[in-house]
Structure 1
Amino acid sequence: MTLTTGAELAPQDYTITRADLRAYAEASGDHNPIHQDEAVATAVGLPGVIAHGMYTMALVARAVATWTDGAEVVDLGCRFTAPVVVPAEGGATVRVAGTVKAVEDGLATLALEVTSGEEKVLGAPKAVVRLG
C-alpha cells in the first residue's frame, strides 16, 4: 500500500437496507425503535427510520480498510451531523470518499467525506492508519 499526500481515494458506496438495520440491532444490542419503526421515528421528529450512527461509522472503517489493504487504524472519528434515512423498500446509499491529508512518521491521515444523497451525514470524519 502506497499512500501519498494529496492522493484522492476512490469513493466507496454502500447500500443500507432495513434488513441490515435489523441485523445490526441484533449484533450490537441497540434495539432503539427509531432504527426499526417508522411511526416511532416520525413521532420523535425524524424524517423516517434512520441507520445507527455506529453502523455508518463501521462503513467508514470498511472503506478505510479497502483503501489501505487492512492497515492498522490508530484513530477514527467524526461528529454525527445528519441521519441516514433508510426507506422501507430498497435502501439508502452511503458514499465514503477521502483524500490523503498527510503522511508522516509512518502514519497516514485521511480526510473523509461521508454523504447520503446530497447531504453530509458525518462532520469532520477522519482516519489515521499506520503504514506497513
Structure 2
Amino acid sequence: MFDITTVPAAAFGPVTRAMLADYAAASGDNNPLHLSDTAAQQAGFHEVIAQGMLSMAFVGRWVTSWCPLHAVQSISSRFTAPTPLGSHLRCEGRIRSVENDSLTVDYTVTLEGSNVITLKGAVVVKAD
C-alpha cells in the first residue's frame, strides 16, 4: 500500500527509429508500418510511426515512477492518434476516484507542444 494525493507528469522521447526497431525485436511486432517508410507512405503517413504498445511501455514506466509495481491492479487504454518519429510524449494523470483500497487515475499521453492526445485510459492501483 502507498499514499498519493497528486500524480506527477513525465516526459519521454524523442521517439527514434532505433526505439521502433528495438521494440519490434523485443515484442515481435514487425509490422512494416513501424519499420519501413515505404509501407508507412502507402498507408498515408509521411514516415514510420511508433507502435501503440511502445507508448503503453512509456505509460508503464510513468505509472511505476509514482506507484510501486505490486500496487498496480490494471491499466486500460485507447489509442487515439499516431505517434510520429521525433515525438516527445507527455504523460499526465488526475485522480478520478478513491474507493475502498483502490485509486483510479485517468491519464493522457500527449504530443508535447500540441494538444494531440495519442493515448488515454485509466490506471487502478491499491492505495492506503
- Whether TM-score is above 0.5 comes out as yes
Q: How does 1:97-112 map to 2 (within 5 A)?
A: 97-112=92-107
Q: Which has the higher strand share?
A: 1
Q: Gaps (5+ residues) in structure 2? A: none
Q: State the identity %.
A: 35
TM-score normalized by the length of structure 1:
0.86
Residue 53 of structure 2 aligns with which residue? 54
Preserved contact between residue 114 and residue 120 of structure 1 (Cα < 8 Å): yes
**Is the CA contact 1:71–1:131 (under 8 Å) kept in the aligned structure 2?**
no
Counterpart residue number, 2:11: 13
Q: What SS is found at the alignment partner of 2:93? A: strand
SS in 2 for 1:121: strand
SS in 1 for 2:45: coil
Measured on the aligned residues, the alpha-carbon RMSD in Å equals 1.5
Report the alpha carbon displacement of residue 71 of structure 1 after superposing the two structures with TM.
Answer: 4.1
Which structure 1 residue ranges, 4+ long, deviate > 4 Å from structure 2? none
Q: Which residue of 2 aligns with 1:29?
A: 28
Report how many aligned residue pairs link the two structures: 124
Query: Is residue 130 from structure 1 mapped to residue 126 from structure 2 by the alignment?
Result: yes
The residue type equivalent to 2:89 in the other structure is V
Equivalent residue of 1:19, what SS? helix
Which AA in structure 1 matches 2:65? Answer: T
